[in-house]
Amino acid sequence: MSKENVKFRTSIGGQALLEGILMRGVDKQAIVVRKPDGETVEKIEPVKPLRLKYPILGWPLIRGSVNFVETLVNGVKALMYSAEFMPEEEQETSKLDRWLEKHLSGEKAERAIIGVSVFFGILLAVVLFFMLPTVIAGLFTGLVKSSVLRNLIEGVIRIVIFLAYIILASKMKEIKRVWMYHGAEHKTIFCYEKGLDLTVENARTQPRLHPRCGTSFLFIVMIVSILVTSVVTWTTVWLRLVIRIALLPVIVGISYEIIKYAGRHDNVLTRILSAPGKALQLVTTAEPEDDMLEVAIKALKLVLPDEEGADRW
């Protein structure tokens, strides 16, 4: 039993949305959104991971990248759904979205918008957190001869850019609300893992920093990228970029296995591995309001397995 007095570790995970929560369970996921009038809407969908159809996608090191893409796709769909309940004056539709909706049927347009969003989301992450640090580090080629030291410089630049991005995003009013729902998600899962009744009163007293958070995963990706690429020598920035992109699936795969191990065990090593991500959650989570906890509790209850313990991590 961990120092947080956790009864067991659940595989149920969540994502904060616009005035809502997505909870993903063993065989179903649920979205609960609070509308401007105070009422909540619920949406339940079956979960059908690709590894059930193609077992090889569930193998270690491969499953990390597959799970990342599946999570990203589901997250974008859930965000789009939650945005539908925002006041009309706050909804923003891009020209591309309007063009797709005009030329494609409703279902095809939705799939196209999700595909485009996922593509640009991954592209932005690759450019901002991998390509840009590589280009900046390339400026030190003439000054720093050691490839190991250049790799270290690049890694530090990557982490600084990542932290700056998170901190700047937290200044937005809408994002602050999302961080609060993020905190509500963590508190609710902690409450469930400790075997307590799922009530606002019990959830309110729980920690908001959770070791199996996606924030921790992203930070581990940053650290693993430094270690993996430190063994690769490079002569030009462009070669370095190609190597970086080629190694991304490997980096994500290793990072997933680390976060999975850290989630299943509680020892000195896992606490060290979880510490940077939990520290970053001081920014990406905030103390939620009671009505946010209500939303998180509703979402969690909707995905609880029929067989007790079936969601054990």
pLDDT tens for 141-175 read 777 777 778 788 888 898 899 889 888 888 888 88
Q: What are phi and psi of 20, to 5 degrees?
A: -170, 180
Residue 295 pLDDT class (50, 70, 90 cuts): very high
Q: Model-level pTM?
A: 0.83
pLDDT tens for 208-226 read 998 888 888 888 888 888 8
Q: What are phi and psi of 43, to 5 degrees?
A: -140, 125
**CB environment 104-139: b (16+ within 10 A), e (fewer):** eeeeebbebbbeebbeeeeeebeeebbbebbbbbbe
Instruction: Write down the mean pLDDT value for the chain.
Output: 84
Q: Choose the weakest-confidence range: 85-94, 245-254, 264-273.
A: 85-94
Q: Is the pLDDT of residue 106 over 60?
A: no
**CB environment 79-92: b (16+ within 10 A), e (fewer):** bbbbbebbeeeeee
Coil, strand or helix at 31: strand
Which is higher by pLDDT, 296 or 84? 296
Residue 102 pLDDT class (50, 70, 90 cuts): low
- Provide the pLDDT for residue 1: 37
Q: How many CB atoms lie within 10 A of CB 3?
A: 7
- Provide the pLDDT for residue 181: 97
Where in the chain are the domains?
13-302
Give strand pairing partners of 119: none
